[in-house]
Amino acid sequence: MEIKKLTNRIFYIPHHPETDRPLLAYIKGDKIALAIDAGNSAAHVDEFYQALEVEGLKKPDVTIITHWHWDHTFGMHHINGISIAHHKTNEFLEKEKNKLSDNSYIKSMKKNNKYLNREYVNDRKIVITQSDVQFEKKITLNLGGTTAQIFHAEAPHSEDTVLIYIPEEKVLFLGDSTSEDFFNDGYMDMDKLRKLINLIESIDCQYCILGHTEPLSKCDLLVYLKSISN
Ligand SMILES: [Zn+2]
């Protein structure tokens, strides 16, 4: 998989529908390299880092997690540097980690999730870990020449939703936040969706980056979200 360049400082490898691997992004600061999401396995992390190397980019110093779902977090144990997550993300991850000690839970995960089953072929082991740093409301990183504003937001997809805004590049990372809640029978909370739409509207960005699609313009995303929220 090749690295794609979105702006001067922002790169990404696209999502991978076969195994539900989400898009992984990279922000190149003069001092700190920031990755967004850890991917769904150690193999996914390796693929990302190899693509970075080909492009002459160093491994991330910090990885920020958008939410706890397996496809965004099961690579966390394998990252370079440190990870940052919302405190609720860590709570969810701890629960999942405890369930892993039961072998039948792993079996049922594989049975019920064809993507996970495809990713964890042969003897690949599922490893869940919590982040090195956690926060409650927001945390701002000065990456050198550019900043990352990381904050918790209310969203229909998960309780622990974290958004990342890079003002200098006018890019907003949204993870899967605009989607329904798969862990609540695919329920779409319209109230939360409308709040999220208002929030996106208020942010001065050109691109909106979601986990499982190509980068969108802010305008295209808002047109789509408004069409489903009416
Ligand atoms: Zn998700």
Beta strand pairing call for 62-64 and 82-86: parallel
Query: What token pair was written down for 120?
Result: 């964890």
Range of the domain at 198: 4-229
Q: How far is the CA of 145 from the centre of ligand 1 (A)?
A: 30
Q: How far is the CA of 67 from the centre of ligand 1 (A)?
A: 7
> What are the beta bridge partners of residue 21?
16
The pLDDT tens digits for 89-104 are 999 999 999 999 998 9
Q: How far is the CA of 30 from the centre of ligand 1 (A)?
A: 30
- In whole angstroms, what separates CA 174 from the centre of its chain? 8
Structural domain count of the chain: 1
- CATH code for position 217: 3.60.15.10
Query: pTM for this structure?
Result: 0.96
* pLDDT-based confidence at residue 185 (cuts at 50, 70, 90): confident
Q: How far is the CA of 69 from the centre of ligand 1 (A)?
A: 5
> What are the beta bridge partners of residue 140?
149
Placement of tokens 């160093």 in the chain? 58
